[in-house]
Amino acid sequence: MLEVERLRAGYEGADVLHGVSVSVEPSSLVAVIGANGAGKSTLLRAMSGLIRRSAGSLSVDGRRLQFRSEREVVRAGIAHVPEGRQVFANLTVLENLHLGAYAVKDAGEVAARVEDMLGLFPALRSRLRHYAGSLSGGQQQMLAIARGLMGRPKYLLLDEPSLGLAPLVVETIFQVIVELRRRDVGVLLVEQNGWLALSNADRACLLEQGRITLTGTGKELLENPIVVERYLGVGAAIGETERHRGLGEQLRRALAL
């Protein structure tokens, strides 16, 4: 289990997170939803060692991390796919994938993992030799996730993977998340798209101004009046929700949730 306890972290002296506790079982999807600026990205950055914590602990399968380096986090089996589809634009798709497995020396093993990623994201196959910067936004997001998976992490931290992407791409990404569950990977998914995240999540929590204010199953949060009112129901979100409803139902049936 991936476990964060009473985490405090932020920027230049001021904490953004005020004692956040979250845990992720292997083979489960945990969604963190919350408004823009709530601290979702900060949570993932603090977990992966990108920013310093001022208090709290993080442990992986019972072993507490010291956060001496980002590498320690990677070695412990945690991969972080940051927001904004971060790929190396001036490297090819294949080179980006290889970077995700820099610690693997066996070329045959690296090739097998590349093949595995192309199975998950077939759209990348014909673009292996293309510069990552030339890909569409959706392809870049797929590549960013694939690069994270090249190290075969036990836990994946995903920051807003669906933001601004077409429904078909979002569908591919959520199908991969479902596949990861089957592979025993635990996923911590941070999303503003509350409906899609919650309808697929085993557990979920609401992050508000750096504090977890609500936890439960994905379904419980989906039915919570406060969540519905503030994060699901209104205005433009309805369009998004309708667009994704078919997909969510489909996935739920596939998972027999």
Ligand X SMILES: Nc1ncnc2c1ncn2[C@@H]1O[C@H](COP(=O)(O)OP(=O)(O)O)[C@@H](O)[C@H]1O
Q: Which is nearer to Mg ion, 41 or 141 (CB)?
A: 41
* 197 vs 146: CA distance, rounded Å: 19
Q: Pick one of ligand X, Mg ion, none as the site partner of residue 36 (Cβ within 5 to 8 A by kind).
A: ligand X
- In total, the chain counts a number of residues equal to 257
CB 44 → ligand X: shortest distance, Å?
A: 8
Q: Which is nearer to ligand X, 3 or 15 (CB)?
A: 15
Query: Strand, helix or coil at 110?
Result: helix
**Residue ranges binding ligand X (CB under 6 A):** 11, 16, 34, 36-42
Q: Pick one of Mg ion, ligand X, none as the site partner of residue 101 (Cβ within 5 to 8 A by kind).
A: none
Name the residue number minimizing CB distance to Mg ion: 41
* 94 vs 209: CA distance, rounded Å: 39
C-alpha 42, offset from chain centre: 13
Enter the tokens of residue 140: 């870049």
Q: Which is nearer to ligand X, 114 or 207 (CB)?
A: 207
**Residue ranges binding Mg ion (CB under 5 A):** 40-41, 83
* 132 vs 187: CA distance, rounded Å: 25
Q: Pick one of ligand X, Mg ion, none as the site partner of residue 16 (Cβ within 5 to 8 A by kind).
A: ligand X
Q: Pick one of ligand X, Mg ion, none as the site partner of residue 34 (Cβ within 5 to 8 A by kind).
A: ligand X
* 220 vs 199: CA distance, rounded Å: 10
CB 148 → ligand X: shortest distance, Å?
A: 18
Q: Which is nearer to ligand X, 84 or 216 (CB)?
A: 84
CB 11 → ligand X: shortest distance, Å?
A: 3
Burial of 156 by CB count in 10 Å (0-12 exposed, 13-18 middle, 19+ buried)? buried
Residues facing 53 on adjacent strands: 9
Q: Which is nearer to Mg ion, 45 or 98 (CB)?
A: 45
